[in-house]
Amino acid sequence: MEQGRTSYLYVFALLLWLAAFAAEVRQIGRWAWALAKSVERTETQVEMLNRQARENVGLVKQARYQSQELEFLDSLPNILPQDKGYLRTQKAISDEVQGLRRKLSRDLRDSLHVIVDAKANKLYFKKGFKLLWQADCSVGRGGSLIDKKTGRRWVFVTPRGEFKVMAKAENPEWKKPDWAYVESGEPIPPPEDSSRIVLGELGPYVLNLGDGYLIHGTKDESVLGRPASHGCVRLGADDLRKLYENASIGTKVYIIY
């Protein structure tokens, strides 16, 4: 009897173990199924991100191409003539440039003229299109000055445009203008006061371009090649002498930027 009871308990324990094992297997199965679903969702999201990344790369390439195309169009001079649907070819542009050069050559007629490049602070003395010599110069330094008492304002720039030598002089006197007194904090004397006359300030020569603008010398040649004047064009002594000797009254002076 005792042996039968033991066998019964053994079988009952085995059944309980099998039931627990089966429950554990089912739980593991549910976990595996959930994990598989999670992996599937992750793979789908990864594929979506990859697709979006490829699309973004394509958009970046397209934007770069359009940017390069716009830069190319901007680099072409006069890209839209009167007929806006017509893009001029490089040959047409070249022909136009040559035409302008011929016209300018006819206008200059191989005459002597001066070009002042105010951006580079360079002066070029030319005959037609032939460069005879060049020199460092100093043009207007920019900026302005205001007289606090009267409110008058002076701007220290060299004007752009076409000028001509209207007068020349050796050992010129400088009549000190009002702005020079305001700049140094001195009282302004009457217009005809003899104290305004200063010798040696302009160098040994001066070429008058009109409207108060001159080509003259400088006491500090170390600043040549940089903007340093109050609007006039400054040259070193040797170059000023050479210009004075070769540029006659009426010689054209072109100031460009």
Q: Could you give the CA distance from residue 201 to residue 199 in angstroms, rounded to a whole number?
A: 6
Domain 110-256, CATH: 2.40.440.10
Asked whether the beta carbons of 243 and 133 are under 8 A apart, the reply is: no
The tokens for 85 are: 């649907």
Q: Where are the beta strands (DSSP E) in the chain?
A: 112-117, 122-127, 130-138, 144-146, 153-155, 161-164, 167-170, 173-175, 197-199, 205-210, 213-216, 233-235, 252-256
Annotated catalytic, 232?
Answer: yes
Residues in the chain: 257
* Catalytic annotation, pick one of 113, 137, 216, 230: 216
To which H or E segment does residue 65 belong?
helix 2-75
Q: Does the predicted model carry a pTM greater than 0.85?
A: no
Annotated catalytic, 137?
Answer: no
How deeply is 145 buried, as exposed, middle or buried, from its count of CB atoms within 10 A (0-12, 13-18, 19+)? middle
* Catalytic annotation, pick one of 113, 137, 230, 232: 232
> What are the pLDDT tens digits along the chain (257 aa)?
555 566 666 666 667 767 776 777 777 777 777 777 777 777 777 677 777 777 766 666 666 655 655 554 444 444 334 444 434 455 565 665 566 556 556 666 678 999 999 999 999 999 988 899 999 999 999 999 999 989 999 999 999 999 999 999 999 999 999 999 999 999 999 999 999 999 999 999 999 999 999 999 999 999 999 999 999 999 999 999 999 999 999 999 999 98
Q: What is the domain partition of the chain in residue ranges?
A: 110-256
